[in-house]
Amino acid sequence: MMHKLRHPKLVMLIGVCTLSEPIYIITEFMENGSLLEFMRDSDNKEHLKLPAIINISGQISDGMTFLSSQSYVHRDLRAANILVGTDLNVKIADLGLAKLISEDEKQTLRGEMKFPIKWTAPEAALKNEFSIKSDVWSFGVLMFEMITLGRVPYAGMRNAEVIQNICNGYRMPTPTDSATECQDWYYGTMLKCWNDNPEARPTFEHLYNKFCRRMR
């Protein structure tokens, strides 16, 4: 699956070593590590103003547009799984939970697979129903991570509290003490990603075009 998924915004698979344990997956090298670590490094904060965050958001939505066009859901989209190269070039990584589904089909999971609840859409957390639109929900949480330069979403809440509050209509407010400016349109985009109705959430193509317009 990873070998077939080739796109400039996806970390490229080079090869695998399976002759003996442990099995190794060899991918291209991204010298600045994960986006989460990069944002939390105080030396990088001056480079992560709103224009840079918009650019990174556009790169990620570009890669997710490709994934969705191939009918793949990522299922673990968050800053820890975005890798940073030179000149703020980012790529989507950790496709270990990615799944091929029929177009617009929900994928129901069985068994004991665990997911990062704070990034997981309510229909996925409660019913194990994953779709491209549940990735969009996760992208909204990733936007929160980016605008706050790596703060933990739903700070102070346990996983069960997060799910209960979301089902009762709670959404994270605009981060007023953000390390960088959070404009109304940016927060409004986050809210659209967190629509209760998965079909009412924007597509990644729409998000990509929106960020591209903001970069002009």
Whether this prediction's pTM lies above 0.85 is answered by yes
- Long-range contacts formed by 4-8: CB under 8 A, 24+ apart: 5/66, 5/67, 5/70, 5/72, 5/95, 5/98, 7/63, 7/66, 7/67, 8/62, 8/63, 8/91
153-181 tens-digit pLDDT: 999 999 999 999 999 999 999 987 766 77
Which residue numbers are catalytic? 76
Provide the residue-wise pLDDT of the chain in tens; the chain has 216 residues. Answer: 667 789 999 999 888 899 999 988 888 999 999 999 999 999 998 889 999 999 999 999 999 999 999 988 999 999 999 999 999 999 999 876 566 665 444 444 444 456 789 999 999 999 988 999 999 999 999 999 999 999 999 999 999 999 999 999 999 999 877 667 788 999 999 999 999 999 999 999 999 999 999 987
115-145 tens-digit pLDDT: 789 999 999 999 988 999 999 999 999 999 9
CA dihedral of residues 32, 140, 73, 13 (deg, nearest 10) = -10
In the chain, the N- to C-terminal Cα span, in Å, equals: 35
Give the chain's domains with CATH numbers. Answer: 31-215 (1.10.510.10)
